[in-house]
Structure 1
Amino acid sequence: MADGVLTAAVAESRAARWRALPAWLRIGILYLAARVVTTAMLAGASALSGPSSRFGVAPGVGDLMLGWDAQWYWFTAVNGYPSTLPLTDGGQVAENQWAFMPVYPYLAQILGTPAGSWGVGAVLISLASGYLAALVLHRMLRTRLDRSASMWAVAFFVAGPLSALFELGYAEALGLLWLMLILWCVLQRRYGWLYLLIPLFGFTRPGVLAVALFLGLFGIRRLLGRRTEPLHAAEVVHITALAVWAAVIGVSWQVIAGLVTGDRTAYLVTELAWRRNWLPDATAVFAPFDGFLQGVAFWFSMWGLPATVGYVVLALVVVAVAAVLLFEPHVRLLGAELRLWSASYVVYLLAVFFPQSSIFRLLFPLSPLWGAVAAPPSRAWRVTVLALGLVGQWWWIYNMYGLGDTYWRVP
């Protein structure tokens, strides 16, 4: 009995010392530990990679970190953007650099130059961005959740199914950092910084049109709730201007691509070029929501089911997501702003995306919802979620990098 009391006292002492550490240090320790685990998983995927993988037999961990779209970012940094759109043998626009925004590849080139390696700069940006995004996420959640729940949410974030993105040559981590800062500024009503953060986000990753929708919805909410939180004229001007600014940034890359290539549809047809990996006869005309509907029909036909079943399932999923964002009590704890962002981003994905395995990666901007997952105070629940997150991370790494051999294993 005395031994049990002593053990409990030692455990409580360790917990107290942990809680006494500043938040940035605790988050740093969690982040480094998670990165060690991710690196070990990448090494395991490398060891299991076989001749059918796009990476070949036993590639290096560095090869995995700089695979897939990382090669496109590197190619963009080295060669820039084409003034003439490349064509396939069939005369259709081929995959090219216009699908990749410029901030990440060129910043990686600048940072990697002293080391003589673009890849070094790319991975360093992802690593640093992931840690900084975790800090901002924690700060945001602390406005709504207690210390324990906020830190557990960070643990889920840095060790979750998609956390390998913090070590890959992808723009997701940097884009997520800009997004977290945008959301933090909105929460704090510090609108001035958004005039800079919105273009940084918009020229790092696609998705800034979702920010425009979010700001529009946020403005409507502020208008309706002005009796509980006064709405001043300056705030109305900022919110309106920023929503328009985000929409302008959202279409500006299309305008730039059109001016450089002489083809006003250059960006859209470039994005649609990737869709032909699944639908060889896909139209070169973009229509909102058409890609998601086409994707549902495609996948359900692959599974031997009629498209109408897929449409019904999609409708049910959309209703379920809406219900969770509106009514689930732990999600409601996060506040209206984070829920409005989540809804805006889901609408954006439905409007522009063709659903395939990359959809897992594209769910990354919904990371603030980890706060709702961490909100229940049960330790057993939190440990289980963390364990499932690690299992999910291994599943994602193994399929996308260890196997990487079919059209549905695309990160």
Structure 2
Amino acid sequence: MAGWPWWLQAALIFIAARLVSAAIFVAAAIHQGTNPWFPPAPDYWNFITIWDGRWYQQAAENGYPSVLPVDQNGVVKENAWAFYALFPFLGRGLSAITGLGTLQSLTLIAMVAGLCAALVVYRLFREVAGRRTAMWGVVFVSTFPISPILQVPYAESLNILLLAGSLLLVVRRKYLAAIPVVVLMCFSRPTGVPFAAMLGILFLWRLWQRFGPRRSTDANLADSNGRLPSLAALLVVTGIAALAWPVIAWAATGDPAAYTKTETAWRGDSLVPFKPWFDTGRMLFGPVLGVLAPFVFTGLFVLAMISRPVRALGTELRLWCASYMGYLLVFLHPQTSTFRMLLPLFPLALGAAMLSKSKAYRGTVVVMFLLLQIVWVVWLWAWAPLPGGGDYPP
């Protein structure tokens, strides 16, 4: 494949990975027992439309509630406001144009967006790596244990496409051109806040390089500093777009905390920054080690960020990964869905590819990723009730 066009290579890699994931889904579906959505042993197309896919379908077909549903204690229940509007809006539009069912339209959009994301991810990786290493980065992204989510009716593939496009334009310092892409990204999934944080830090860093005591005379940097007004404009627009969805939920329901209450309905607790990590740590490791666990996790992530392969990713991609992980540490309730929430850290796949050029190393990573796909699909995607009630969401 080395002599083939880059876009064909990346597309075939992604398609091959999705066929492997489809085989895993089919095998798991055969063993799917009684569940809330359909009879046991469903076919592939039914099996991949469960979980949040049904919420996106509801948002596409029925819109968003003007009154938040509450239980007998007045606590907000799970509802469609947790799911950003771009993906269901596109599904509704495609369904109206083609006559396809909503879930079929959402699935088609997710698959096409995932394929396009693979192409954009390659172009992004080529900004900081050679052709072969960048292609291996695409292989790692396409086979990552959570990558089956890129072919189901979830908004992840659309978000990765828009996120990769936004990062590519920022790396190329085309800040004004990035504005519409970033706005769309902010309406696909809640990645706007960490993206705004990344841009804010980048803006301060450029200011320091421009006006600090040790000004650089590098011509490329001078060109970047000349675009500070454009970067500032992108930062302001991103900040506004990142807060737009909670504001829309407020305007539609009359409740200023409509979005936050809806998001926390799944965790059964109010939003307190950082606290869920310590709660989960104590649950998993006990009262002492559980308190230390979040600090150990953070320390390991910092070590990864200062490692040689990750430093080679460049300022923008490293800032994005640090900002997004910081966002998760502040707001995320760690549980089984956390694995899926790590997908926007996909630039680290390139760092993994840069770690070694050994074919044995890279091949082993792919094999381990594929095996872990089986674990993820069978353990988390296939539905099974827990002994005390509830389930483990993917």
TM class by shorter-chain length? over 0.9
CA-based RMSD of the aligned residues comes to 1.7
In structure 2, the residue matched to 1:15 is: none
TM-score by length of 1: 0.88
TM-score by length of 2: 0.92
Does residue 154 (structure 1) correspond to residue 134 (structure 2)? The answer is no
Q: Which residue of 1 aligns with 2:373?
A: 393
Q: Which runs of 5+ in 1 are unaligned?
A: 1-17, 277-281
Distance apart, 1:292 and its partner CA? 3.0
Q: Distance in 2 between matches of 1:233 and 1:155?
A: 35
Counting only pairs closer than 5 Å after superposition, residues 371-410 of structure 1 correspond to structure 2 as 371-375=350-354, 376-406=356-386, 407=390, 409-410=392-393
Residues 138 and 154 of structure 1 are in contact (CA less than 8 Å); yes or no, is this contact kept in structure 2? yes
Q: Deviations over 1:122-174 (max 9, x none)?
A: 11111111111111111121122222211111111112211111211100100
Letter paired with 1:35: R
Q: Secondary structure at the match of 1:90?
A: coil
Alignment partner of 1:177 is 2:169: no
Q: Deviations over 1:328-379 (max 9, x none)?
A: 1111111111111000000011111101000000001001111011111100
- The size of the alignment, in residue pairs, is 381
Query: In the TM superposition, what whole-angstrom CA distance separates every residue of 1:190-240 from its partner, at most 9, and x where no partner exists?
Result: 111222112201111012000010001111222334413115665222222
Aligned equivalent of 1:46:
29
Query: Alignment partner of 2:335: what SS?
Result: coil
Structure number with greater Rg is: 1
Q: Is it true that 1:145 corresponds to 2:129 in the alignment? A: yes
Distance 1:349 1:231 in 2: 33
State the shift of 1:47 in Å: 0.9
User: Post-superposition shift, 1:55?
Assistant: 5.5
In structure 1, the partner of 2:14 is 31
Q: Say whether the 8 Å CA contact 2:84–2:189 is kept in structure 1.
A: yes
Question: Take 2:91 and 2:300, find their aligned partners in 1: how far apart are those partners?
Answer: 40
Residues 1:235 and 2:214 aligned together: no
Equivalent of 1:118 in 92, 102, 108: 102
Amino acid at match of 1:399: W
Q: Percent identity?
A: 33
Aligned partners of 1:53 and 1:156: how far apart in 2? Answer: 33
Instruction: Tell me how far apart the structure 1 counterparts of residues 18 and 225 of structure 2 sit (CA, whole Å).
Output: 46
SS at structure 2 position matched to 1:157: helix
Deviation for aligned residue 1:244: 2.4
User: Do residues 330 (structure 1) and 309 (structure 2) align?
Assistant: yes
Q: Which residue of 1 aligns with 2:57?
A: 74
Q: List aligned pairs for 1:197-276, cutoff 5 A.
A: 197-226=181-210, 227=216, 228=218, 229-230=221-222, 235-276=227-268
Note the residue ranges of structure 2 that are not aligned, 5 or more in a row: 211-215
Q: Which runs of 4+ in 1 moved over 6 A?
A: none
Letter in 2 for 1:60: D
In the aligned structure 2, how far is the partner of 1:51 from the partner of 1:97?
A: 25
Structure 1 residue 390: deviation in Å?
0.4
